[in-house]
């Protein structure tokens, strides 16, 4: 029986690692990315290793109504697993960062992810089966000065995932929010050369291990997946300090590492 998985940001990083795991389990893949060279490289590498079909869709997920365009381009093929992985970060105070970049982030993390989920979820519910993995972050559990939009958008993804997971009980469809801490991917290069995300080596996770953890959690239908003991502890900090203090702690870490 043919099964299909769609992965946004599937050409590199955690998206690519998750694509490998899905291919190993005999899913046909639809990889969506903004980088055509990386897409074709990923397609070639996966098809050499596994006997699955890999389709690629070149799309900028920061554009309006791109989710509908994706569905048209894949001919509304039934999707059994949806991995909303695409994303990026931006460092700086909100008063001084560029709105164009922030708007693009909100489209990728929030609007396009939500719209694509809605479009694919309808078929999953009708078939009585399906799995959705949303890439949230450890950042979702507290406010993040100097990366305010990133932290807020990841918090949205966590809350959204938990809410619809509850709504979908008994339908055969599960939703998992993967909340990794710092992971060694190209994300660190994209954010900024000045951000602590680019400097911290402590607790830096291996992307293949993070992907495997998230994949296992998705297959089990786990709602929130936080890889690593340290990250699990950090995710509970807000229970012991005020949100105001948590925000200051995050800012201190960002500023301390900015010029390292």
Q: Tell me the C-alpha to C-alpha distance, in Å, between residue 142 and each of 110, 145, 207.
A: 17, 10, 23
Q: Is 27 a catalytic residue?
A: no
Q: Which of 16, 27, 107, 150 is catalytic?
A: 150
How is residue 83 written in tokens? 């991995």
Q: Which residues are designated catalytic?
A: 150
């Amino acid at each position: 029986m043919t099964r299909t998985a769609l992965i946004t940001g599937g050409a590199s990083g955690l998206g690519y690692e998750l694509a490998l795991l899905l291919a190993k389990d005999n899913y046909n893949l639809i990889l969506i990315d903004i980088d055509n060279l990386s897409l074709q490289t990923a397609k070639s590498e996966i098809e050499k290793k596994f006997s699955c079909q890999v389709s690629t869709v070149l799309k900028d997920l920061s554009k309006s109504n791109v989710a509908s365009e994706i569905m048209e381009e894949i001919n509304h093929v039934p999707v059994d697993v949806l991995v909303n992985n695409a994303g990026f970060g931006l460092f700086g105070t909100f008063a001084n960062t560029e709105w164009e970049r922030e708007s693009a982030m909100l489209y990728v993390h929030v609007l396009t992810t939500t719209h694509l989920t809605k479009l694919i979820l309808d078929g999953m519910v009708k078939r009585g089966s399906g799995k959705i993995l949303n890439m949230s972050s450890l950042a979702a559990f507290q406010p993040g000065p100097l990366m305010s939009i990133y932290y807020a958008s990841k918090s949205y993804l966590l809350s959204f995932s938990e809410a619809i997971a509850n709504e979908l009980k008994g339908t055969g469809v599960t939703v998992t929010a993967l909340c990794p801490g710092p992971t060694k991917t190209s994300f660190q290069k994209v954010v900024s050369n000045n951000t602590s995300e680019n400097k911290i080596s402590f607790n830096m996770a291996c992307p293949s291990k993070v992907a495997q953890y998230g994949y296992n959690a998705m297959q089990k239908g786990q709602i929130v997946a936080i890889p690593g003991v340290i990250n699990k502890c950090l995710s509970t900090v807000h229970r012991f300090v005020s949100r105001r203090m948590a925000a200051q702690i995050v800012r201190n870490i960002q500023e301390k590492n900015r010029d390292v």
